[in-house]
Chain A
Amino acid sequence: MKKIIRWQGLAYFGVLLALLCFFTFFFVDDFIARQIEKLGSAMVGAKVELEEADLSFFPAGLELSRLQVTNPDQPMRNAVEIERIAMTISTLRLLEKKIIIEEMTAEGIRPDTPRRKSGALSKYTARPEEPSPEKSEKGFKIPDLEIPDAKEVLAREKLESLELAAEYRSKIEEATARWQERLAELPDQEKLNNYQKRLAELKGGSDLAGLIGGATELVALRKEIQADLDRLRAARDEFRTISESYREDLDELKNAPRRDLERLVAKYTPSSEGLANLSTLIFGDKTGNIVRKSLFWYEKAQPLLARAKEKRGDNKVVKPVRGDGVWVKFEEKNPVPEFLIRRIAASAEIEAGRFDGTIINVTPDQDILGAPLSYDFDGDSLEGLRSLHFDGVFNHVDPDRPRDTINLAVKGYSIQKTELSDNETLPVTIESGQADLDGEAVLQGNDISGDLLAQLTSVDFIVDSSGSSGAVTQALAEALAEINNVTAQAEIEGPIDDYSMRISSNLDQVLKNAVGRTIEKKTAAFKQNLQENIMAQVKEPLAAAEGDFADFGDISEKISARLQMGGDLLR
């Protein structure tokens, strides 16, 4: 190697650099556009398309025109379409391979726009339509108001009254027989007559010796009589106790038909308590859809909020989304995230008009930045909407304890022909009305909790009850037609993949009362009929039981008569 340096090589190198600059200048815009489309499509699961990208070098900046993000579940519609995005990028930070966007402007954001061609990707399959909780088996169903005939009910139900009467009669017959035996063992009329005869003989003696001997016998006889009287008294007391118990049982038996009536009425008539949560039926579909869609897009936005990291010693090993190898991060003197948009000024266009807002600190490395993402949007003077405001914070500064919040306030939203529920039994539409909405939601770790309050005024409900012959549905339809003001509240709570939603409103009580009146009328007629039929069946057994108890009571009279007679002997 006599000559080490090849001076013409400098020219080769210069030509190479010139070619590189040429290609960068002419093709980098297209390259960036395709990269955004590729990465965006992979993230969303449907086509992301960009009409044009324009990279400027001095100062560093990028302008994107007409960005379309397909809705993965409706490939013929865009989830969002943005007319223009312009941003300025920190050149110095680019040298450190960090994309720090100081200011970004997004204009003409339009949600849910139609597409000319399908934006479906073959790799991605749309999510199957999940049955909403309101439509599942656990969900709410309007109870049927058909009440069976009283005779049919009695044919398939056993009456407790009859069973109790039979049991009572058997018991009292057994007791009567037992006491009859007992009565035979007690001093009877014959024995008492015998005592009377002996007393007369002892009292009739005339000589002194006879009188002295008679007195001793008399004392002995009186003791004997007293002992028998004590036995009779004990038997009487025992009988009274038992008799009292049978009397109570008889009273219980007399009440049994009433209990039978109450039990069967409760079993065979609908209760207005079952209509305690009609709000879920009416508002559940709409609210459930909003919650599911919000959570779907929240999951899609996750890569912008946090990235997977693992610690090795004091350094973080960052797993890249794509590409080979791992990136080991070391401590920085002035830590800055690898990707950061400090401020986005966005203006969105919905059917009602335009609303503006800002998003601060968009980065997947909030822990490095030390500040959360926050957003704040406002719109007023919108068509059919007095004002719209929503704000919130996605706080992943401590990756182990993320906390995301959203607050929403909609005032004076004009409702026109809005379907609330397509439930087969109670399809409800709001023909017109005004709504104010206030809501807040917090997602902490994997748990979500949220609250949405809707106040509807001058509301005009339309219920299509033509498809239902049920009296309850008819009653509900009539009641809804008379309601003008509604306050509804939805509460969400639980793990993000298995949350529960509870909806309540003042409709619940109004509708419950309306249906309750219909139920009351039908129930009263059924009750009257059932009572007559029950009494027809239990009348005879009850009378027989009463007769048995009266017979049992005769034993008491017999004991009392003997006691009376015995007592007379000792006077």
Chain B
Amino acid sequence: MLKSIARLLKVLNSETDPGQISLGFCFAMIIGLTPLMTLHNILIIFLVCILRANLSAFLLGFMVFTGIAYLLDPLFNQLGLVLLTADPLEPLWTSMYNLALFRLESFNNSIVMGSLVFSLVLFIPMYFLFNLLIAKYRDHLLSWIQKTRVMKFFMASKFYRIYKSVSGLGGTA
């Protein structure tokens, strides 16, 4: 966990493209919020591998969003149930239900449907939001934090040694 955070800080503090970091977070949001053993998550892992998404951001984001998912499961369940039992959508669900690929995806489970729709809807807004936050962090927060006493104390800690140990791993993931 400490290594993951250290790697993330390293990436945030480097010249890595904010878009790569945000993409890593956004993919992590999907895989973290939705149940792991689903078909779409294989696609997400494939995309994470093939697209230049930041892996450190993805791994840390996955852990964080998995934790959040436990809190949001009741909401996903309700949302999924509303969508799956909505009359106007029934023809769509029925035709999907008769295709093996979608059945394998478990789309007719209320939590899969609720969490997937929730994370897909938030994907693009969150991508731009993360971009914005990273830029703000680098412009204003980074130089200020490095001058604080807390940071100086921190730089003498074990965590900082870990941070230093991973600093040679390259910033573009």
Chain A residues in the interface with B (C-beta under 8 A): 1-7, 9-10, 12-13, 16, 92, 95-97, 312-315, 317, 324-333
Contacts and interface: CB of A to CB of B under 8 A. Distances in A.
A6 B49 contact: yes
27 contacts: A1-B17, A3-B52, A4-B51, A5-B50, A5-B51, A6-B49, A9-B51, A10-B49, A13-B46, A13-B50, A16-B45, A92-B100, A95-B103, A96-B100, A96-B103, A97-B104, A312-B85, A313-B85, A314-B90, A324-B111, A325-B110, A326-B77, A328-B81, A330-B90, A330-B97, A331-B97, A333-B98
Interface of B: 17, 19-20, 23, 35, 45-46, 48-52, 73, 76-77, 80-81, 84-85, 87, 90, 93-94, 97-98, 100-101, 103-104, 106, 108-112
A6 B94 contact: no
B41 to A, nearest CB: 12
B51 A6 contact: yes
Interface centre among A2, A3, A328, A333 (most CB of B within 10 A): A328
Contacts of A326: 77, 81, 109-110
Contacts of A333: 98
Contacts of B103: 95-97
A10 B50 contact: yes
Contacts of A329: 97, 108
B85 A97 contact: no
B85 A13 contact: no
Contacts of A13: 45-46, 49-50
A16 to B, nearest CB: 7
B94 A331 contact: yes
A317 to B, nearest CB: 8
Given A1-B17, A312-B85, A325 B49 contact: no
> Is the contact region of chain A dominated by helix, strand, or loop, or is it mixed?
loop
B98 A332 contact: yes
Contacts of A330: 90, 93-94, 97-98, 108
A6 B47 CA distance: 10
Contacts of A96: 100, 103-104
B8 to A, nearest CB: 18
Given A9-B50, A95-B103, A328 B19 contact: no
Nearest to A324: B111
B88 to A, nearest CB: 12
Contact of A324 (B52, B73, B104): B73
A24 to B, nearest CB: 13
B49 A315 contact: no
Nearest to B99: A96
A97 B93 CA distance: 16
Given A1-B17, A97-B103, A328 B108 contact: yes
A2 B35 CA distance: 32
Given A312-B85, A313-B85, A328-B84, A1 B52 contact: yes
Contact of B49 (A4, A12, A314, A328): A12
Given A5-B51, A6-B49, A6-B52, A97 B106 contact: yes
B92 to A, nearest CB: 10
A530 to B, nearest CB: 83
B43 to A, nearest CB: 11
A95 B90 contact: no
Contacts of A314: 90
A118 B103 CA distance: 42
Top 6 A-B residue pairs of the complex, sorted by shortest distance between their CB atoms: A325-B111, A9-B49, A330-B97, A9-B50, A95-B100, A13-B49
Contacts of B76: 325
A131 B123 CA distance: 65
Contacts of B100: 92, 95-96
A328 B111 contact: no
B50 A325 contact: no
Nearest to B98: A333
A16 B49 CA distance: 10
B49 to A, nearest CB: 4
Contact of A1 (B19, B81, B97, B101): B19
Nearest to B17: A1
A12 B35 CA distance: 22
B52 A5 contact: yes
B28 to A, nearest CB: 16
A76 B49 CA distance: 54
A16 B46 CA distance: 10
Contacts of B35: 324
A325 B52 contact: no
Contacts of A331: 94, 97
Contacts of B108: 327-330
B36 to A, nearest CB: 12
A368 to B, nearest CB: 13
Contacts of A325: 76-77, 80, 109-112
B83 to A, nearest CB: 9
A477 B70 CA distance: 71
B52 A95 contact: no
Nearest to B87: A313
Nearest to B104: A95
A514 to B, nearest CB: 70
Contacts of B80: 325
Nearest to A14: B49
Contacts of B85: 312-313, 315, 317, 328
B108 to A, nearest CB: 5
